[in-house]
Structure 1
Amino acid sequence: MRPVDADEAREPREEPGSPLSPAPRAGRENLASLERERARAHWRARRKLLEIQSLLDAIKSEVEAEERGARAPAPRPRAEAEERVARLCAEAERKAAEAARMGRRIVELHQRIAGCECC
C-alpha cells in the first residue's frame, strides 16, 4: 500500500461536476460579471439617449426662436442663431454615434451571456 500524502489527507478531491468545483463557480461569477456589465451598459445608453433628447429639445427651441425672430425683429443676428443650431446638431450627432456604439456593446454582451455554457 502507498502512504497517504499530507496534502491528500487535508484536501478531499473534488469531482468536476460537484457544486464546490472551481470551474462552475468561475462560470457563475463570469456570468454574474457579464450581467452587471450589461446592466451598466444599458443605463449608460439610456443616459446618452436622454442627453440626445435634451439636445434635440434645445435644437427645436432654437429653431422655434429663430422662426419667431424671423417674424419680428431679433436682438441678435441670424448667423449667430444658425451657428448655435449647427453646433447643437453636431453635438447631437456625436451623442447619437456614441449611443449606437453603446447599443452594439449591449448586443455583444447579450450574445456573450447567451453563449455562456457555464450554467
Structure 2
Amino acid sequence: MIGAYTIGKKAVTFGYKRYGIPGAVASGGAALAGYLIVRRALKRSTNADATGVESAIDAGEVKSAVEERGLGAVTESETLERAIDEEDVGSALDMNDVQSAAESETDAMTEGSEGDSSDER
C-alpha cells in the first residue's frame, strides 16, 4: 500500500505529462482528495486507529478510480471494496456505512469548494 504523498506525487506527474501544469494540479488534487475522502470515511465508520486505516487503503486503486471516473468514484461500492482491505482495518467494517460516510465527505468537500468560489464573485 502507498501513502497520500506518493499518490499525490504520481497523480501530479501523470497529469503534467498529459495536460501540462493545469493537468498536474487537477489530477493531483482530485486523487489526493479521493484518498482523503476514503480515509475519513473509513475512520468514521470504524474504531480503527489512523495507522490501521491508512494501511488498509490501496491508494493506487483510489487514484485509478478518480482518474477514470472522477471524484464521485470514491462513493461507489465497487471502488471501496477494491480499495479497502477489510483484514487490515482491525475492527468490524460495514461497507454500506463506509459508502455513506464517503458520500457525506464528498458532499462536504464539494460544498466547501463551491462556497469558496461563490464568495469571490
TM-score (normalised: structure 1):
0.30
The structure having more radius of gyration, on CA atoms, is 1
**Which fold has the larger relative contact order, with Cα–Cα distance below 8 Å and residues 6 or more apart in sequence?**
1
Give the TM-score of the pair, scaled to structure 2: 0.30
Structure with bigger helix share is 2
